[in-house]
Structure 1
């Protein structure tokens, strides 16, 4: 027997929406300049911001935004969208959760909510509320996201797709049916900025895509599939064609290793002249002592032939607390106004 949800209690818990920060509404340059004269994480952030500005000022540099973790749900979603809209990034490598459960989810008109109180998680489960630390998601709305992914998959020709190609279809869907202009997925489609999710099915997309395949098998029909090898090949192709590259990395994990490995992959494909990533910034709270990729320093990555040791900076901080400063500083310094749009997504058409 299904227990009826207490709609009044659910409404109380989902009463305060997360408001995403607008980096155009304040000028962080004075505080970043002041932090450069301090020590500890403040100075690290100022150095990282300077490196990002160098990326924007370098006319030859292709910039990848690399995202792991839940900063999009926590209030940085419009920040990332603004970086894309203002031509401050040329490609995105992210987790499926960032792209699907957070950005695409809000693109459909749904919201994330501040947890003003955190009751027993079993209580949240009974109300169909999912929790990300102190942020809530309505599970019923998330299921709408799953079903929309299913709808998109059912509309496609049954063949292999890279995550980039499928996410482009998601952006096209939002461009035609979405409820939010400021969506990273939608803007990426409109500006030919490729988005890669190397572990795409580890998200709400996974549920919709599994159902797509199961339904098609029952009907005796062919189904679409995701081609993870194509992800690696396409991203490496961009790296080879781009030459000079810079990485702005929030968190670590699979996206971080995936984008760094393009250098090694290019070498294996015979491109002996491929350059390591010239610029690199990583913002993380991961402990370096466990040896995991998420916490490996950029200096360590240099030993693998992935990044340049000369222009890199680790910032050990919770990204939601420092990315608004970095992004606002770079936005207001305005180097993006002179950048050429690269439109790497168009090379696969």
Structure 2
């Protein structure tokens, strides 16, 4: 396998007797480039192999496929991060297929991706629309637009709002009083499983069925958060503690022998997942290392200083990944194109895994982690070490 810098990940730079750098990136030792043949009816696996013999982002996608395969086959704990509006265009069932195969163990999403996923379970109207339009006209017709997707203001959004509010109110006794956003997502998934007409169309239902926790760390920046506003005024419902999200996500990394992520876009989901390394190393001082594998699909640039475009290697300086030299790749382009290809490839070449059932274990892990934190703190005080 070659990493995204075009050199074999196990080759490390060293100097020869003349003091010249022998980094293989600076030598003519790469695979001979032979134009591959395209053929009729190529499978996704064939296409990924084809890409691997070429260059640019086609080759990066083939590297991402190899890393994903490695992640799954080494029984790594795999996190999917969801930024951008993936569910309104119908990606929910693709996520569900990966959950069912045991290839996704936990999810970090924008609240929007959870909210729009539920439209399909409840059979609320979502249609293909157009992007070159007059939005004042759409507003007058009560049509809401996500680029080239149309949603109805009353029949979809406001209908969904009532369902979300009702489900959180009615299930307040089932949700822990000190709840993470994964506890809110679990309750919404359970409600959709029990009450919706098409539960099979929702990744949130599939996550509920397989104990896959779904975190929404920026829950206030979404319709899920907006729907908690009436509950706040009425003094009803349960309001999540997002710092508990920080604890639970750190505990997942702490309990994982190997860990990795498939990041769709950047934003809060990307960083929330990647900051689990610093949470354990910098803050709790329990475990060093960060993630073993990282794949990001993005169109964001690194030179503007935003986290969305930050290179994965940069994360090594923060302790977010084990090494910047291998096991990570950024594929530049559109997640809506790349994600289904990667999923189909994984489903083709990897055997299904037993689900890790992390939702059922997370609370116990946090309690264990808390005990270790206090034991370390007490030990440091007794030994006179500065914290």
Quickly name the TM-score band, shorter chain normalised. 0.7 to 0.9
Secondary structure of 1:38's match? coil
Q: Secondary structure at the match of 1:295?
A: coil
* Deviation per residue, 1:120-145 (Å, 9 max, x gap): 10111111111111111111111111
Unaligned runs of 5+ in 2: 1-41, 364-387
Aligned residue in 2 for 1:305: 319
Q: What root-mean-square deviation, in Å, do the aligned CA atoms of Structure 1 and Structure 2 show? A: 1.6
Which has more radius of gyration? 2
Q: Secondary structure at the match of 1:314?
A: strand
| Deviations 1:187-223, CA, capped at 9 Å, x for gaps | 111111111010112222122210111123xxxxx65
User: 1:150 maps to which residue?
Assistant: 165
Which structure has greater helix proportion?
1
Report the equivalent of 1:74. 89
Q: Is the 8 A contact 1:193 1:343 kept in 2?
A: yes
The equivalent residue for 1:41 is 57
Write the distance in 2 (CA, Å) between the matches of 1:79 and 1:54.
Answer: 20
Name which of 179, 183, 189 aligns with 2:208: 189
CA distance in 1, matches of 2:264, 2:152: 25
Which of 342, 348, 352 is equivalent to 1:326?
Answer: 342
Rounded to whole Å, the distance in 2 between the matches of 1:153 and 1:234 is 21
> CA–CA distance in 2 between the matches of 1:336 and 1:179?
31
- Counterpart among 92, 104, 109 of residue 123 in structure 2: 109
Which stretches of structure 1, 4 residues or longer, exceed 6 Å deviation after superposition?
none
> Do the aligned residues in 1 keep the contact of 2:108 with 2:273 (CA within 8 Å)?
yes
- 1:73-222 matched pairs, under 5 angstroms: 73-100=88-115, 102-116=116-130, 118-140=132-154, 141-155=156-170, 156-157=172-173, 159-180=177-198, 181-216=200-235
TM-score w.r.t. the length of structure 1 is 0.86
Cα distance in 1 for partners of 2:267, 2:229 equals: 24
Comparing both chains, which one has the higher relative contact order based on Cα–Cα distances under 8 Å and sequence gaps of 6 or more?
A: 1
Secondary structure in 2 aligned to 1:294?
coil
Q: Give 1:75 deviation, angstroms.
A: 3.4
Question: Post-superposition shift, 1:116?
Answer: 4.2
Give the superposition deviation at 1:85.
Answer: 1.5
Please give the per-residue CA displacement for 1:297-341, whole angstroms capped at 9, x wherever unaligned. Answer: 1011111110132110000011111112111111111x242x232
- Measured in 2, the distance between the counterparts of 1:201 and 1:107 equals 23
CA drift of 1:118 comes to: 4.1
Under a length normalisation based on structure 2, what TM-score does the superposition of the two structures give?
0.78
Would the aligned equivalents of 1:244 and 1:275 in 2 still touch at CA under 8 Å?
no
By how many angstroms is 1:286 displaced? 0.7
